[in-house]
Each structure stands twice: as structure tokens, then as C-alpha cells.
Amino acid sequence: MALIFLDTAKLEEISEAASWGILDGVTTNPTLMFRAGTADRKTQTQRIAEIVKGSVSAEVISTDAQGMIEEAREILTWSEYVYVKIPATPEGFKAMSVISGWPNGRINATLIFSPNQAFLAAKAGASYASIFVGRLDDAGLDGMEVVRQTRAIFDNYALDCQVLAASIRHPAHVTQSLLAGADILTMPFPVLKKMAGSPFTDAGLKKFLEDWRKVANA
């Protein structure tokens, strides 16, 4: 079964989605912490983990391997649910290769824009390869094709890394990611809300209730 993650650090959005019973995890990044109005990554991540009781990704700020490794050592103690987000750079792959050797070395390789970066993330021991579909589309490229190719490569070699479709911008990205075989989809709350309903559902429900009132009051 594909997993649904929310791409936000806002607690009210996470609580609402969790109450629907379909939320498997949450991804955050420094921009999303900024939008949630907090610089206290540890407390916010722990609060998120308490709500979702599933995978929560928290990103390193360092850009050198040693700094990432030191940050990861701390981040991974914040909660049993935490995955440390490491960028797909040469320094990032160096850090991933070390962190993945730890007993609690759960890694979400982030900022992936090509199947080759995803392949390196899997080789370096990441649990998730986060492909930024929307940003690829923004650049005039085909984000979903990167998801499809990564899926095929991971399947060809039975790589133990999950394909995570990130930077999802609209419900069509969700459907396309599912068809492309993504293991995990992370999306902003407005996209989740849109995929949960339809104007046709609302119109159909309105008509059913109108007709019911007519017959009930007859």
C-alpha cells in the first residue's frame, strides 16, 4: 500500500489529517519550519511525532558531511519515528554512507532531481529517495518521468529504498505518482483536502438531501 505523508510543520494541519485516519507520516524542511513560525526544530518534530505516531522527517542544516553526521546523531534521538533528511550532494552521500551504518540510521535523501541521484541515495543506504516532482515540472522537465525511471531502477536491482514523490503540487500529481509506482507521496494539506472531495460529490450530496427532505416531509 502506498503511504500518504503530509508535507508541513503546521500542527493543526497534521492533527486534522491524522483525524481522517489516512495519514502515515510527515515531512518537514527548513522552509516548512519557517512557515510554521518556529526555529525550535526539536520540539516541533517531537510534537509532530506525538500526533502522527509515524515517520517524521527533519532536515539537517549543515552542508558538509561532518556537520551533517553530527546533526544527524542528535536529530535521530528526538523520536523513534524520526528520519533525518540529507541532501543529495557529494557531501550528503558521504554522510549517508556513515549514518546508514548506525542501528538507528533512518535517512530520507532529499532534493533529488534525477534517477541517478536516487540510485546513489539507495547505494548510500537511504531508506527514502525524495524526488521533487513539482520543482522538476517548474523547470520545464518531466518530474513524473523521474519517478517512473527511479521505480524501474530500484525494481531492476531490488534496491531497499522507497521511492518518495515530493514537491507534489496538485491532485493530478498524486494520481500520476500512484500510477508511476511511488511508495510514498508527501503533499501539502491543501492538496490532500482537494483529493478528498469533488464538486460533483458536493452537488450529488446536496441533491440527495433535498430529495430526502421532500419525501420525509410529504
Residue 30 binding ligand G3P, by CB under 6 A? no
Q: Does 194 sit near ligand G3P (CB under 6 A)?
A: no
| The one among 93, 113, 132, 154 contacting ligand G3P by CB under 6 A | 132
Other beta carbons within 10 Å of 2? 15
Nearest approach in angstroms of CB 5 to ligand G3P is: 8
Three-state DSSP state, 59:
strand
Alpha-carbon distance values, 104 to 72, 76, 78, 107, 131 (Å)? 10, 7, 11, 9, 23
Q: Tell me the C-alpha distance between 169 and 187, whole Å.
A: 7
Counting contacts by CB under 6 A, is residue 117 touching ligand G3P?
Answer: no
Q: First CA to last CA across the chain, in angstroms?
A: 47
Q: Residue 7, interface with ligand G3P (CB under 6 A)? A: yes
Nearer to ligand G3P among residue 45 and residue 167 (C-beta): 167
Q: Does 95 bind ligand G3P (CB under 6 A)?
A: no
* CA 10 distance to own-chain centroid: 14
Q: Does the footprint of ligand G3P cover residue 29 (CB under 6 A)?
A: yes
Yes or no: say if 67 and 89 are a contact pair by the CB < 8 Å rule: no
Does 186 help bind ligand G3P (rule: CB under 6 A)? Answer: yes
Q: Would you state the cell numbers that stand for residue 182, as one nine-digit string? A: 511511488
Per CB under 6 A, does 59 bind ligand G3P? no
Q: Per CB under 6 A, does 55 bind ligand G3P?
A: no
Please report, as residue ranges, which positions from 151 to 180 form the binding site for ligand G3P (by CB under 6 A).
Answer: 166-167
Residue 197, CA distances (Å) to 1, 169, 201, 202 in order: 21, 16, 7, 8
Stretch that binds ligand G3P, among 58-66, 92-100, 131-139, 204-212 (CB under 6 A): 131-139
Looking at 10, 85, 94, 207, which residue is catalytic? 85
The answer to whether 207 is a known catalytic residue is: no
Q: Could you tell me which residues come within 8 angstroms of residue 33 by beta carbon, excluding any fewer than 6 positions away? A: 9, 39, 41, 44
Binding site for ligand G3P (CB under 6 A): 7, 27, 29, 130, 132, 134-135, 166-167, 186
Residues with catalytic roles? 85
